Amino acid sequence: MGLARAGFSATICQDPQGILDASHLIVPGVGAFADCVQNLDARHLLTPIRNAIRSGKPYLGICLGLQILFTEGMEFGSHPGLNVVPGQVVRFPEGALKVPHMGWNQVRIEKPHPVLEGIPDGAHFYFVHSYYPQPTDDAWVTTTTEYGLRFTSTIGRDHLFGCQFHPEKSQGVGRTLLGNFARLKG
């Protein structure tokens, strides 16, 4: 739906051939880290996703689709991810702020990326999450967001981009981001 609003079409695939045939991959998700990885594995999609990323196919991970790119997720114990981006996915600390982090929040652009083109520093996006990524290499970090602490809200390198927020729920800036991704060349 978000891509259609940005003027692009999409096909939902649940098999390895669909991933091979796609020009771009968007892996969205809401749920538990380990369940997501197990479901992708049960459908024989982990290797095709890794191969697509290695081949230079544009990849957009949304929320859980971002988190599974990391080495390890700490939701309900330690669970392996795709290990494309070194680091962990950790829970917000208990404290004064409500978890999950839900609602509109600003992103601070730390490093340019083609998917962020035309999006102003301080733009608001819609978040729903209890866990956030911690890359071991800050070179991956393209935006950060404040919620009791400064956390990585997007990562990017070349054809790979991931966002902790939901662009499909983020109105105009979300459409801009999705359109930029759809135009990204592999």
Query: d(Cα 6, Cα 10) in Å, to the nearest integer?
Result: 11
Distance (Å) of CA 128 to CA 42, 98, 104, 164: 26, 11, 9, 8
Active-site pick, 24, 36, 63, 113? 63
Specify whether 168 is catalytic.
yes
Active-site pick, 79, 129, 159, 166? 166
Q: Tell me whether residue 71 is exposed, middle or buried, using C-beta atoms within 10 angstroms of its C-beta: 0 to 12, 13 to 18, 19 or more.
A: middle
Active-site pick, 113, 129, 163, 168? 168
**Beta strands at 59-62 and 25-27: parallel, antiparallel or unpaired:** parallel
Q: Catalytic amino acids?
A: 63, 166, 168
